[in-house]
């Protein structure tokens, strides 16, 4: 038996995102991800073969998706399922607080792959369509 605490991490600021593999079986992978001020490069999109269930346990983050273009602000307890090949990236994480993610990767329900994302700076790219004030947020409970 292996035992650990998801909330056991250094209190010092993180200089880089930290990914800890908690479990890996044939078709399932579970990761704990710690980030503090890190974001994906503006020209990078995750394009994964698996569906990903992700929950933000601590901190704040902003995810960007393409095709269709949208942004989603996450706060503690927020979770979502990202379909395989739904291109996405981390646009922002809180710079002064560690964002703690739990990500579970499983085989996809559908093999469909969306169209490619728009190039950064093009008229259909997210940064051309939305200002920071337009970011959709979930209502506070």
Dump pLDDT digits (tens) for 47-87: 999 999 999 999 999 999 998 789 999 999 999 999 999 99
Percent with pLDDT over 70 in the chain: 79
* Structure confidence at residue 91 (pLDDT): 97
Dump pLDDT digits (tens) for 99-115: 999 999 999 987 766 65
- What are the residue ranges spanned by the domains of the chain? 18-106
For the stretch 78-107, what's the b/e string if a residue is b when 16 or more beta carbons lie within 10 angstroms of its beta carbon? beeebbbbbbbbbbbbbeeebbbbbbbbee
The mean pLDDT value for 121-134 works out to 41
* CATH number of this structure's domain 18-106, picked from the four choices 2.60.120.10, 3.10.50.40, 2.40.110.20, 3.40.190.10: 2.60.120.10
Q: Which residue has the tokens 């996450």?
A: 74
pTM: 0.79
**Alpha carbons within 13 A on the beta-carbon side of 49:** 3
């Amino acid at each position: 038996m292996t035992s650990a605490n998801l909330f056991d991490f250094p209190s010092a600021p993180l200089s880089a995102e930290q990914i800890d593999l908690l479990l890996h079986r044939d078709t399932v992978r579970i990761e704990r991800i710690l980030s503090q001020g890190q974001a994906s490069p503006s020209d990078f999109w995750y394009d994964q073969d698996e569906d990903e269930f992700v929950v933000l346990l601590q901190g704040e983050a902003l995810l960007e998706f393409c095709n269709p273009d949208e942004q989603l602000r996450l706060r503690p307890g927020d979770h979502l399922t990202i379909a395989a090949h739904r291109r996405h990236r981390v646009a922002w994480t809180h710079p002064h607080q560690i964002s703690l993610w739990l990500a579970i990767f499983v085989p996809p329900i559908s093999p469909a792959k969306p169209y490619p994302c728009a190039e950064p700076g093009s008229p259909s790219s997210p940064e051309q369509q939305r200002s920071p004030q337009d970011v959709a947020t979930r209502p506070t409970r």
